[in-house]
Every structure is written in C-alpha cells, then in structure tokens.
Amino acid sequence: MPKYMDIAVNLIGSSLEKDIHRVVEDAAAQSVTSMVVIGSHLEESQQAINLCEQFPGQLYSTAGVHPHHASEWKTDSVARIRCLTQSPCVLAIGECGLDYNRDFSPRDMQRKAFAEQLALAVELKMPVLMHERDAHEDFLAILKEYRPQLPAALLHCFTGNKQSLDAYLEQDIYLGITGWVCDERRGQELASIVSYIPDDRLLIETDSPYLLPRSMRPKPKSSKNEPKYLPYIAQYIADLRQQNINDFSAVTYKNSRTFFGLEC
C-alpha cells in the first residue's frame, strides 16, 4: 500500500488544534505516515516543536516567520530561529517568503524577513520551505541571490502559471501541490500545467485545514481539510499526469523524505 508524507499542515492555531490526536490517527489509517507542522511565527514554531515531540517519527516541524507576520521581525529573530532549529523535530527554515495578495505586513518588511531567513538557511545548511502569492518577481529576485548556496528549496502550495512554473524550475526548486488543483473555479490553470513538473521536483500536501478539495464526492461533512485526504489529492494529480497511483505515490514520498533529509 502506498505511503504518504504531508509536507505542510497547519495544526497549531487552527481549527484542527483541539483534535490533533484524532487527526494524526485518521491520517495514519489512510497511510499518511508523517507530516510537517508549519511554524508561521516564532511562538507558533515553538508550539509546533512541543507538539511534534509528542509524536516522534510522525510529526516534524519548520521554524520561521511567514510574510503575514513579517512586521514582527526583530533584530533577534534570526538568533531565535537558530535556537529553535536545535530541536531534532525542525527539518526546515520557514514558512517564509512574500505575500502581496493580502499585504498583512509591509512589503519592505516581508522582503527583509525573507532574505534574512534564506541567509540563515544557507548558514545552517538547512532546506527552506517558502510561500509566494502575487509576488513572483520580487520573490524570484531574492531567491536567486541565495539559491546557489541553499541545500534545497521548496515552494509550497504552488498556484502559479506556466511562466512562473518555468522560472521556479530553472532555480531547481521543489514545488508543493495542494487540493487547489481540484478546484474547478480557481485551479484549472494549475491542473493544465501540473504535468510539466518533473517527477523529481514534485511534492504533495494538504495545507490543512485549508483548501479542502472541492471535487471530493461525497463532500466531507466538515469544511476542514485534513491530512487524511492526501491520498485523494495524490490520485487526482496522478490522473492529471496520467501516472499510475502507486508509482506516483512512491516518487512523491521519496521526494518528500529526500527534501527533509529523512530516510525513506
């Protein structure tokens, strides 16, 4: 039976937090054997570590500052993230990047926080998990400065077009695909280009509790997305790419473990 790793879940500070044990158990029952809990600010990153310590081998985490929280970036933020990465649970720097769609933080602060986190990932020789929305040009310009020295880079929840896809692949980064691709309203363009992603650069994720696949039938009673739905997303993407689900799952699982430095 295929195994899956959900490379981006939002368990802390979300609607799933009160139900974490059930969420992890339900995921395991669907062969989602491991997942990465996102840290979107420093306090949440510490909470993610505390949570992961309760589920060794099942839950891992990132440590970083999301662009929504870039206005909280301070002179000691790099040092605090460096300290957080000493936990064996932390597999990557992030979630960091740029978000010009909502602009919850000033753009200059977003760029500063992003660049300094990439520099830290270079220093620590750690992979980086990134976020980009409506900020392709600035994001790419900053990424290019650090990419040659980064051991690995992942743009999670990719929803761009063919032009941005090609630009990111030129930087030899991994791309995370979510249930966005299952959305007949917003995901049509992504569905049309997902087959262009090379096998060895594709990862899959739920971004739980967000982006519940709209194509699911019957629709889940809850509107919350969960890691247990990752096999559905995998099947949907495999069909778009005209690949056998067992082969597709094996490749994306291996990619996930490779990116985060885990044994397959």
- 13 against 159, higher pLDDT: 159
Check residue 244 and give its pLDDT.
97
Check residue 212 and give its pLDDT.
96
In this structure, how many other beta carbons lie within 10 angstroms of the beta carbon of residue 102?
10
Which of 223, 232, 227, 233 is CA-nearest to residue 177?
Answer: 233
Phi, psi of 142 (to 5 degrees): -70, -45
The answer to whether residue 12 scores a pLDDT higher than 90 is yes
The sign of the CA dihedral 185, 204, 63, 22 is positive
Ligand-binding site membership of 43 (annotated): no
Q: What is the mean pLDDT of the chain?
A: 97
pLDDT tens by residue, 102-115? 999 999 999 999 99
The answer to whether residue 1 scores a pLDDT higher than 90 is no
Check residue 13 and give its pLDDT.
86
* Choices 3.40.50.720, 3.30.1180.10, 3.20.20.70, 3.20.20.140: CATH for 4-259: 3.20.20.140
Ligand-binding site membership of 95 (annotated): yes
Check residue 221 and give its pLDDT.
87
Which of 145, 143, 162 is CA-nearest to residue 154?
Answer: 143
**At 88, which amino acid appears?**
P
**CA dist 72 to 66, 82, 160, 236, Å?**
10, 17, 27, 38
**Percent of the chain clearing pLDDT 90 (strictly above):** 97
Check residue 103 and give its pLDDT.
94
Token pair, residue 31, equals 């062969």
Q: Is 166 helix (H, G, I), strand (E, B) or coil?
A: helix
Provide mean pLDDT across the span 175-199: 97
The answer to whether 157 and 8 have CB atoms below 8 angstroms apart is: yes
The answer to whether residue 123 scores a pLDDT higher than 90 is yes
At residue 88 the predicted structure's pLDDT band, cuts being 50, 70 and 90, is very high
In the chain, alpha helices (H): 20-29, 42-52, 77-84, 107-124, 136-146, 162-170, 188-193, 230-240, 245-259
pLDDT tens by residue, 206-261? 999 999 999 999 999 888 999 999 999 999 999 999 999 999 999 999 999 999 99
Provide mean pLDDT across the span 165-193: 97
Ligand-binding site membership of 138 (annotated): no
Check residue 5 and give its pLDDT.
98
The answer to whether 190 and 177 have CB atoms below 8 angstroms apart is: yes
pLDDT tens by residue, 28-82? 999 999 999 999 999 999 999 999 999 999 999 999 999 999 999 999 999 999 9
Q: What is the 3-state composition of the chain as percent helix, strand, coil, each rounded to the nearest 5?
A: 45, 15, 35
Which of 227, 189, 175 is CA-nearest to residue 60?
Answer: 227
Ligand-binding site membership of 207 (annotated): yes
Chain length of the chain: 264
